[in-house]
Each structure stands twice: as structure tokens, then as C-alpha cells.
Structure 1
Amino acid sequence: MLQAIGLTSTPRRDRPPAVDDLTFEAPPGTVTALLGPAGAGKTTALRLMLQLEPGRGITYFRGRPLHRVAHPAREVGVLLGDVPGHPSRTLRSQLRMLCAAAGVPGARADDMLRVVGLTGVHDQRIGTLPRGMDRRLGLASALLGDPHTLLLDEPAAGLSVRESAWLYDILRTHADEGGTVLYTTADPKDAARNADRVVTLDAGRLRADQDAAEFARTRLRPRVAVRTPHAARLAAVLTQESRAARRPVEVVTEGGNRLSVYGSDCASVGESAFRNGVLIHQLADETGDTRPTPQPPAPPVPDPSASNAFASNASASIATVSDPSAPDAPAGDSGPAGGEARSARPAQTPGRAPRSHRAPRRSPLRPLRYEVRRLLGVPSTPLVAAGVLMVSVTLAVLLARSGRTPLPAVLAGWPAVSPLPPAALGAGLLGAFSFGEEYRYPALTTGRGAVPRRLGLLLAKLTVSAAVGAFLAVLVVVADLEALRFVYGGELVPVPPNWPTLCANWFGLVVGCAWAGLLGAGVFRAAAAGVAAVLAVPVVFAPPLQRVLAGVPGRTVAGLPARLREFASIEWSSAADRWVMGALRVVGQPVGVALGLTLTVLLCAYVLTGRHSRARW
């Protein structure tokens, strides 16, 4: 049961709200159409239900508001507009990433691709999909978590008659299993044909809430569809008889051998044709739609191995996913929730809620798996790493040629004219992509809140970006060292005596830049802002800090470890004293101070701007 109560959007400037005090229900076991012309507020109403739009009112999903649902993907499946996701990501990579976010096994992605007939094109990029395949991928994304409620915005817009019939068959099967389906449409005939209930909106307000039969009777013009080889003759006969009987009958020629007769019925038209010897090929009552009923189609996928959406049998894959004893399936995970996947389940009476599922175990690995799959699913990650490696090796070879550059700068590929080495810039760019992609291609938006600011997701991004930064730091030093040996000879490069401090400085710089890019993009919602935050550390903040620190009277911290030991009453060895002093020297560098202050400010800004988010992992 979906209950929308008092939904009202926040008005913009002096304009009235797009949705004004909207209240209605979408019962389980039915398909409900939210009908209205363009600008009626249909999409805004869906966004208000999902807490993606500022406004008033509340929506209950089986008695709970969305922010009280522990696992939104298990309760609500959403398709708003085109499928959100990076255009360079493949279909399979996109679904596996969403599987990690929903807490379902990655194998569910292959099952859902099979259900919607996209198995043969699983390696195709999202940005190259035609409209029909985009709708299929969107439906697979909405059904990943086996939700009870489906919310879809204009799901059949731009689809052919055959593709629309396939889509509505999936929605009808979901409702017949006891689920709730709510979709928007601007076509009254579409609502009358495919919905059980029709909720009509006009200028953001509720105008009618009717079942489909009543809607067709009161809002659409009933007519008699006639197909005859003597259309002109029959039209003249019907017009003449209606005038003689003074009945308000209107006869419209649809072209060729088709007629639409308004204000009459099949019996009257058939009797008139019989009396006048007119041959009839078709005679049927219709409600405002003269198109022939489309037959259930096969999915138009150019792959002979892809299963037909109406004839394929996904029982084996469903059993694998829904079996609680499977090694990688969380408890209570059910099979794919759509089309023939649902038909493999035990039949349920329409109107009854589907069988309850135990919630998956909450695990800190869920956001971590999501972030890893997000990072590795796009070509930008290996391209940035390869670019960093090539530029760093080139700079290291050129810097070593003069023999005057210090060894640490040579191994880092860091010329004096550059504010940061290539590894730090690359790590900052990858960190900026972490949140930049979330806002540009918001795959996590639907059903979970407008901003992906959950603590679990932030910790996962910080962990993964730190690991990527450390990997780039090691990779660059090793590659530069091998390049120097290859170009200038095989002599061993001498190890500096202060190598622990140098390593700490190097890792701290690269990882800190990765975090600065990540938090900058998270606060300002753009990858460019994350890159700007990285460059601001050495260009804007470090020079004035260096001048300030140079003007401060020199004070030694040589005795600080001993004073800390005395204050904390903790005994540690002299080696620990050296590590503490090394860490203090690293943090005390101007760039280190600037980077630490930048990260602190960005983290506080991120937390403060994200306090309104109520969604959870």
C-alpha cells in the first residue's frame, strides 16, 4: 500500500507550487496511473514521495515513510527519466554496482539482464543504448532489490507498441503478485488500457481518483470501431438513419476501411449494416482508441541467445539467487522481481502483499563493494593511472639528466615549476571523481535521498581513495626507479638515510590530495571543485603559511615525546620516540599544515551540509 498525504512542493519565486495538497492511495495488487498533461506535476509528485524534492507532506510505503525504511531498494524500485549512470559504464557493471548498494549478490545483475532480454548486450555502454534498451535497463535496475512498490515516470515514453506491451506485461505481473505499481502518463487511452486505477492531476491538484472502468466511461468517449470494405456507404447509411431518428450519432472516417461511430452501440450499427446489405469485417466497442490491440512481442535484442521476455524460463537463476543456503546470498534474498522471473514463484492472490523477506545483514562491506565497483567500472580510472605513470616517468628521466635535482624529487617526478607531482594530481583527480560522478550521474539518488552523504559511503570513499593514492605513490616511485636504471645504467640508486621521513611525506602528500579532491567534490558537488581544492593547497594556502612559520621564533620540539610520555604515564621505547618525531616533522611542513587545515575545513563543511540527509546504508 502506497499512501501519499498532503504532498505540496515548495513554490519557486511567485509561481504556485507544482504539486498542491495531493492525497491519494495506490493499493497493492493494482496498477495505478498518475495521469495529467505536461506540467501537471506528475514527476514532482514522484520526487516528493521519494524525498528528492523539498516540500511538505508524507508518503507511507506499507505504513512507513521512506526515511524509516532500513533497506529502501527492498521496498521501492524507481525509474525516473533515463537510467542514471556513467555513460561509459557497461550494462553489467552498472547493475553490479547497484547490487552492491542494495546489498544483493552481484550474480543478481546477470539474472536481471536475462529477465529483461539484455543478456547478449551486457558489455554495451550505457551512453550508446537506444530508447527501448534504456527502458529495459531501467526496469532491471528498479527490480534489483525485489521491491514491493514500483514508481515509474513515463515508462513507455518513446517506445514502440510492441515494447510498450512488453513493459506493461511486466508491470501487470508484478501487480498480480501483490506488488504496488504507480506510473505516470500523459495519455488517457494508455491509462484506460493498462491501469486498474487512474489518479488525474491538473495544475498540481487532484481532479479525480477512479477505477479504470469508471474513468473510461466518464472521461473517454465510448465508440464503436467498424472495419468494412464499404466504409463510405455505411457512413452515409448511419448518418441518414441517425438524422431520421434524431439521435446524436457521429460517424468519423479513420481512413481506408475503418469507421468510428460515436453515440451508438454495436447492436445498432450491426443491425443497420444488415438491413442495408453492408459487409462487416470488424465490430467492437472501444473507449477512445482505434488502434488494434498489440500482441505480446519478443524483445528486439540482436542476440539469438537472449531469452524472450515472455517465453524464457529463469527458474534456475532465480533458485540460485533466492536460495538462502547459497554461499554469497544474504538471508531472505529473493529472485528477480519482474516478468517471467515472478511467474516462477508460487502464485499469489492479487491484492495481497507478497511474502515477507528477512532483511539482509547490515555489513560495512556494502558501501565498500559499491565504491570499488564504481571506481573500476569506468575507463577513466586506468586512463588517469596510465597518464600519471607516463608523465612521471618522463619527468624523472629529464630531471635526472642534469644531475642537480635532489633524488626524492627525481623519483617523484616533481619539477620545481610544478605545484604538485603527477601522482598527487592524479590521486586528487580520482578522489574528485568519487563524488563528482555521484552528482553528475546520480545512480544512488532514486529512493535514497537527494544527496549521497551517508557515513558508510563517506568512509568507503575515503578508504578506497587512500588505497588508490598509496598504490599510485608506490607505482610511480617503482616505475621512475626502473626507468632511471634503464636509461642511465644499472647502478643502484643510493638509499637516503632519512628514507622513513621521506616515505611518510610522500604517502601523506598523495593520500591527502586524494582526500582533498574527494571532500571538495562532495561539498561543492562537482569534480572540478575537487580538483580546485587540491591545487589550492600548494598554490593558495602553503605560501602564506610558509611565510608565517618563517617569521615565528624558532622553538624546538625535541623534548615533546618525553613530555608526552610523562603526561600520559606510558612507557615506550626510543624507537617510538623517533617515529613520533618523524611524524611531527612531516605534519610541521608548510604543505602538510596547509593540507591538514584544508582537509579539516572540508570535512567539517561536508558534515554540516549533509546533516539534512536521513537516508542510511
Structure 2
Amino acid sequence: MLQAIGLTSTPRRDRPPAVEDLTFEARPGTVTALLGPAGAGKTTALRLMLQLEPGRGITYFRGRPLHRVAHPAREIGVLLGDVPGHPSRTLRGQLRMLCAAAGVPGARADDMLQVVGLTGVHDQRIGTLPLGMDRRLGLASALLGDPHTLLLDEPAAGLSVRESAWLYDILRTHADEGGTVLYTTTDPKDAARNADRVVTLVGGRLAADQDATDFARTRLRPRVAVRTPHAARLAAVLTQESRAARRPVEVVAEGGNRLSVYGSDCASVGESAFRNGVLIHQLADETGDTRPSAQPPAPAPPAADASTAATPASDPPASAASPAPNTAAAESSPADRKAPQAQSAPALRTSRSHRTPRRSPLRPLRYEIRRLLGVPSTPLVAVGVLLVSVTLAVLLARSGRTALPALLAGWPGISPLPPAALGAGLLGAFSFGEEYRYPALTTGRGTVPRRLGLLLAKLAVSAAVGAVLAVLVVLADLEALRFVYGGDLIPVPPNWPTLCANWLGLVVGCAWAGLLGAGVFRAAAAGVAAVLAVPVVFAPPLQRVLAGVPRRTVSGLPARLREFASVEWSSAADRWVMGALRVVGQPVGVALALTLTVLLCAYVLTGRHSRARW
């Protein structure tokens, strides 16, 4: 059961709160509609429930507040607006990445694609999806962790009648299996047709909490549905007679040959048509019926297309109107009929009895690897770094005045950092920058979970990517120099272990600086700025300070470390330790170490007050 108690949003700019003292329940096994006009506070209410909006009040999910839910992804499925995800990621790649975040097998992604009818387009990019497919992907993402509660904001907005019928059939199946479904809508006909209970909001306050039957009887006006080939003529006749008789009759053209007559009955409309010789094809009383009994349930529709999205018929000018009959078969477009069929809703049934709630993220390393490899920016950056580095190495070697380490790194003197370090910093900045720009872990922008497992996974993956990029750059530059100038001009330096430690430390440190900078300031550009600040801002003053300080040797430190730890290692390990100490002791190394320390502390401190969870 979902229980919302006293939800009140924080007012802004001396305006009243969008939601004020909202209390209601959504019971398991039922579909609950949160109804209200635009600006009534429906979306704000959902965001308050998910702690994505500042305010007061509390929401219990099966007796537990959100901050006490062990793993919200398996308890709550959310769809707020468009599907959050990188536009260049494929549908299958997006769901497989979310599978790692939810701790479910990767095969679940293929199952969900089959359920929502997107199997044939699993390699399509998210940024190219039309509205119908985007909603299908959003529903698949919400159902991925097999949650008990579904929270959806306007899930059928802009969809065709057939698409909407399929979507509500999925929600009905989830409720029939014991789940809780809460969705928002602005259409009272939609609420009466598809919900078991209707919670009405007006001005951010609770106006009514009714059973769908009571809602249809008390809040939807009765009407007479008329179908005639002479709709315009009959509308004029009924309007003229009602004015003459001074009766409050309202005639609304629903499109085509259909009329809705409010304030009259079948007998009066039929007599008026008979007197004026108007042919009638249908004449029926409607009072907000939820689903016409003569109409069979709509089958599971195919994948949606932007061209097939239909806007519902406009409501009458009154405050509420009754629903139109289900016309899915008539209003589906040829593109709908040609698309591959979706699997029926019962395929969603999975076992909920064997769940073991765990702290998220469940599989952060797998999630980060799939996030990194699922977008084309990663290989593009790597290829660009290799090409630029090879070109610079060949041009620098032509003069013969550049040292060998700078040649192999492709590092000209005018550049603050070599291409490999800049590329590693850029990829590191994307680690958190994409999380904030295209949030996939949470439903609200800018709310990325500050979890130690996620941070360690990002640090490990970015370090591995930086090390691989550093090795590839050196090998590519070496082979290019050998090919262009011959191998005799490239001797192996005697201090190559120290040079390797310097090189790997610089590239990995830049990757971490970009990652932490983007994590603290919530933008990839901030991560790149943090990388450039090391050699441009911090290193020069440190170099001047260290130049005036008397130097002391630490040559005996490895032996003292051996003695302190009571561990024996070889002399080669001593050389590596000394090489690492020399790297850290250089001005750039000191600046990089201080930058990483400050960014890490800032990341931890900014996450202490974060309420974002997933």
C-alpha cells in the first residue's frame, strides 16, 4: 500500500505551495488515478513522494518511508516524463545498463523488450525514438526491477487510442497481480475508464477521493451519444429547439458524424431527429461508463510511431465530461498495424517471493562498464587521442630537439597536458557528467546517488581506461616514429620504470580529476576544467615554492617501510617505490595529489546532505 501523508511542497517567490497538505492512499491490487487540471500539483506530488522535491510530509511504501527502503528500484517503478538516458545509447544497451543497477540478470532486458513490443528495434538509438516507443521504453525501465509500486506521470499523454488501451492493460495486469499503480491524468474520462479509484486535486489540495463508479456518477455529466451522417444539421436543430424551449441543452461535435448532447435524453433527441427527418445510426445514454460492454478488449498494440499518435477528442466546456467509446480498431493507423506485435501483459508475471533487499548499487562495476561502452563517445575520444598524439609525435621528432619521453607522449611544450591525459580526463568527466545530464540512476535531474560502491567502480573503470589509453598512445607513437624515422633513433632509456610510473600516474590522475570534478560540480565541463587547472593554475606556484625549499633525500624510505611492515620484497620493488615517490614529489604530481584530495573531500561532504537514492 502507498500512503501519502501531509505532502506539502516548498512555496517559491511568495506563491502558494503547488501541493498543500495532501493525504491519500493507493491500495495494492488497484489502479489509482491522480486527477487534476494542468498546474493542479500532480507531478509535484509524485516528486514529493520520491523525495525529488523539497517540502514536508512523508510517503510510506508498504509501511516503509523511502529512505528506509533497502532497494527502491525493486520496490518502486517510476516514469516521469521522457525516458532518461543518453540519446546515442541503444534500447537494449540502456536496459542492460539498468539491469546492472537494479541487480537483475541482463536477460531481463530482452524479456522487457519483448513485453513492450520493441524486440525488432532493440538496436535503435534512444534519441531517435518517437513518442510511442519512448513511452514503451519508459514502461520497460519502470518494470525492470519487478517493483511492487508503479508511479507514472501522464503515461498515455499523446498516445493513440490503441496504444493507450495497451498501456492500461499492462497497468491493470500489474494491479491484478497484487501491485500498486498510481498514475496522473488531466482527463476525467481517462480516470473513470481505467482507474479503480480517483483522487482529485484542485489547486494542490485534495478535492475528492472516490471509487471510480462514484466518481463517474457524481462528477461526470450524463450525456446522449448520437451518430448520424447529418451531424451538423442535427446539432443546429437541437440547439434551436432548446433555445425555443429555454432548456439548458449543450451539443458538442466530437468529430466526424458523432455528437454528444448534454442536458437531454434519448427520447427527446430521437423525437427531434424524427420531426426533422434526420437519419440516426446510434442513440445511447452515457454517464461516464468506464468501458463499453459491447466493445471487446483492445489487443496488445504494436510499437508506436510518432505519426500514429492521436490527440483525444476535446472535452466539452464544462468542468468534466464523460468518456468516448473505445474506438481502438477504427482509429489505429496502417503504421500501427504493420509494426511487430507486443507480447501480452501476462508475460510480466515474475516471482516476488524470493526477493532479497540489498543496498544499492547492486552491481556498480558492471553498470559503469556498460555505461562507458554503450555510447559512441568513448571510442571516438580514444581514436581522436591516438590520431592527435601520433601526428604530434611525428612532427616533434622532425626537429630533433624534443626529448624521447615527450615524443612518445606526443606532448609539445606549448600544451599544458599531453593528448592522452586530456582524453583520459574527458572520459573521466563523462563518468559523472552524463549521469547529471542524462540521469538513468534516478528519476530527477541532478540526483545521482552518492554511494561508495558507485564511486569506487567509477574510479576503477576510469583508472583502467586511462592506463589502457596511456599504453596505446605510447605504442602507437613508438611504431609511428619507427615507421617514419627508423628504429635506430629511438633508444630505450635506462630510467624507463620511473618514466612509466610518471606517465601512468599523470594519465590516471587526470582521469580521476575529471571524474571527481564532474561529480562535485555536476557537469562534464567542470571535470575538464579541474583537469586543466592542475598544470595551469596549481603547478606553477607549487614549482616556485618547492624551488626555494632545501631538498632532503628519501632514499632510505623503502628500507624503513620494509622494517616497519615486517615484509620482505625484492630490490626491484624498492625501485618502483622510489619511482612513485619521485612522481608524487614533482610539482605536477604534488598539484595533482592535492587536487584529487580536495575534490574527493568535497565530493564526500556534498553527498552527506544528499537525499537522492535509487
Letter in 1 for 2:146: D
**Which residue of structure 1 aligns with residue 126 of structure 2?**
126
Task: Output aligned runs, 1:3-402, within 5 Å.
Answer: 3-228=3-228, 232=233, 236=237, 248=247, 250-252=249-251, 254=253, 257-266=257-266, 280-286=280-286, 287=288, 288-289=321-322, 291-295=324-328, 307-309=340-342, 312=343, 339-342=345-348, 355-359=352-356, 366-402=363-399
Quote the Cα distance in structure 1 between the aligned partners of 2:589 and 2:155: 52
Q: How does 1:471-486 map to 2 (within 5 A)?
A: 471-486=468-483
TM-score of the aligned structures, taking structure 2 as reference length: 0.87
**Displacement after TM superposition at 1:91 (Å):** 1.0
Q: Partner amino acid for 1:136? A: R
Pick closer, same or farther for the CA change 1:133–1:243 going to 2, 3 Å: same
Q: Is the 8 A contact 2:34 2:201 kept in 1?
A: yes
Q: Closer, same or farther in 2 for the Cα pair 1:271/1:213, shift >3 Å?
A: farther
User: 26-35 or 389-398, which moves further after superposition?
Assistant: 26-35
Indicate conservation of the 8 Å contact 1:114/1:307, yes or no: no
Query: How far off its partner does 1:168 sit?
Result: 1.6
Q: CA deviation at 1:508?
A: 0.4
Q: 1:281 offset after TM fit, Å?
A: 2.3
The separation in 2 between residues aligned to 1:393 and 1:300, in whole angstroms, is 55
Cα deviations by residue, 1:415-474 (Å, 9 ceiling, x for unpaired): 111110100000000000000000000111129992231111111100000000000000
**Separation in structure 1 between the aligned mates of residue 186 and residue 358 of structure 2, nearest angstrom:** 41
> How far is 1:140 from its partner?
1.0
> Over residues 281-338 of structure 1, what are the superposed CA-to-partner deviations in whole Å (9 max), with x where a residue is unaligned?
21222232464312369998979996423xx46xxxxxxxxxxxxxxxxxxxxxxxxx
Q: Residue in 2 aligned with 1:513?
A: 510
Would you say the 8 A contact 2:439–2:446 is kept in 1?
no
Per the TM alignment, residue 274 of structure 1 is displaced from its structure 2 partner at its CA by 7.9
| Greater CA drift, 192-201 or 367-376 | 192-201
SS in 2 for 1:24: strand
**What SS class does the counterpart of residue 610 from structure 1 fall into?**
helix
Structure 1 residues 574 and 526: alpha-carbon distance in aligned structure 2, compared to 1, 3 A threshold: same
1:362/1:39 CA distance change after superposition, 3 Å: closer
Distance in structure 2 (CA, Å) of the matches to 1:301 and 1:592: 65
Q: Contact between 2:436 and 2:446, CA under 8 Å: does it hold in 1? A: no
Number of aligned residue pairs:
579
SS in 1 for 2:488: coil
The separation in 2 between residues aligned to 1:140 and 1:299, in whole angstroms, is 22
**CA distance in structure 2 between the partners assigned to 1:194 and 1:614 by the alignment:** 34
CA 1:234–1:458 in structure 2 vs 1: closer, same or farther (change >3 Å)?
Answer: closer
Distance 2:596 2:48 in 1: 34
Report the equivalent of 2:297. none
Cα offset for 1:69?
Answer: 1.7
Cα distance in 1, alignment partners of residues 383 and 184 from structure 2: 46
Q: Are the counterparts in 1 of residues 160 and 332 from structure 2 also a CA contact under 8 Å?
A: no
In 2 relative to 1, CA 207–289 (structure 1 residues): closer, same or farther, beyond 3 Å?
closer
Report the CA distance shift for 1:14/1:484 in structure 2 as closer, same or farther (over 3 A): same
Q: Where does the alignment leave 5 or more consecutive residues of structure 1 unmatched?
A: 314-338, 346-353
SS class of match (2:184): strand
* Kept in 2: contact 1:34–1:182 (CA 8 A): yes
2:532 counterpart residue number: 535
Contact 2:60 2:66 in 1 (8 A): yes
- Deviation (angstroms), 1:272: 7.6
**Aligned partner of residue 34 in structure 2, secondary structure:** strand
Contact 2:5–2:59 (8 Å) recurs in 1: yes
Deviations 1:497-544 (A, max 9, x none): 111111111000000000000000000000000000000000000000
Moved more, 300-309 or 64-73: 300-309
> Could you list the per-position Cα deviations for residues 220-260 of structure 1 after superposition, in whole angstroms to 9, with x for gaps in the alignment?
2111112245665698589869987x9x5515262775443
Matches within 5 A, 1:408-427: 408-427=405-424
Shift of the 15–167 alpha-carbon distance from structure 1 to 2, 3 Å rule, reads: same
Q: CA RMSD in A?
A: 2.9
Deviation, 1:372, is: 0.5
Cα distance in 1 for residues equivalent to 2:460 and 2:270: 76
State the secondary structure of the residue aligned to 2:608: coil
Q: Quick one: which amino acid aligns to residue 435 of structure 1?
A: F
Greater CA drift, 264-273 or 287-296: 264-273
Q: 1:25, CA displacement in angstroms?
A: 0.6
Distance across 2 between alignment mates of 1:251 and 1:40: 27
Would the aligned equivalents of 1:166 and 1:297 in 2 still touch at CA under 8 Å? no
Q: Distance in 2 between matches of 1:243 and 1:176?
A: 52
Inter-partner Cα distance in structure 2 for 1:298 and 1:203: 34
Q: Cα–Cα, structure 1 residues 302 and 97, in superposed 2: closer, same or farther, change >3 Å? A: farther
Q: Equivalent residue of 2:328, what SS?
A: coil
> How far apart, in 2, do the equivalents of 1:297 and 1:52 lie?
41
| Structure 1 residue 79 displacement after superposition | 0.7
How many angstroms does 1:567 deviate by?
A: 4.9
Q: Go from structure 1 to structure 2 and tell me whether the alpha carbon gap of 1:197 and 1:395 turns closer, same or farther (over 3 Å shift).
A: same
Deviation at 1:85?
Answer: 0.5
Change (3 A) 1:303 1:571: same
Deviations along 1:20-76, one digit per CA (max 9) or x if unpaired, are: 111111111111111112221111111111111122111111111222222212111
Moved more, 382-391 or 20-29: 20-29
Within 2, Cα distance between the matches of 1:233 and 1:576? 96
For 1:117 and 1:424, the matched residues in 2 are separated by 44
Over 3 Å counting, the alpha-carbon distance change for 1:256 and 1:185 in structure 2 is closer
The aligned residue for residue 496 of structure 1 is: 493
Aligned-pair CA distance for 1:12: 2.1
**Counterparts of 2:357 and 2:33, CA distance in 1:** 31
Amino acid at match of 2:591: A
| 2:427 matches 1:430 | yes
* Distance 1:210-1:55 versus aligned 2 partners, 3 A rule: same
Q: Give me the whole-angstrom Cα distance separating, in 1, the residues matched to 2:256 and 2:525.
A: 60
Partner of 1:597: 594
Does the CA contact (< 8 Å) of 2:102 and 2:361 recur in 1? no
The letter for the 2-side match of 1:451 is V
1:47 partner SS: helix
Task: Out of 592-601 and 572-581, give the one that drifted further.
Answer: 572-581
Structure 2: how far apart are the matches of 1:584 and 1:142? Answer: 49
Question: What is the deviation of 1:105?
Answer: 1.3
Shift in alpha-carbon separation, 1:416–1:234, aligned structure 2, 3 A: closer
1:562 CA displacement: 3.8
Is 1:553 matched with 2:550? Answer: yes
Secondary structure of the residue that 1:471 maps to in structure 2? helix
Task: Confirm or deny: 8 A CA contact 1:466 1:514 kept in the other structure.
Answer: yes
The separation in 1 between residues aligned to 2:416 and 2:356, in whole angstroms, is 50
Residue type at the aligned position of 2:325: P
Residues 72 and 447 in structure 1, CA contact (< 8 A), matched pair in contact too: no
SS at match of 2:214: helix
After TM superposition, the structure 1 stretch with the greater mean CA deviation from structure 2, 281-290 or 122-131, is 281-290
Structure 1 partner of 2:304: none
% identical aligned pairs: 87
Alignment of 1:439 onto 2:436: yes
CA distance in structure 1 between the partners assigned to 2:562 and 2:516 by the alignment:
34
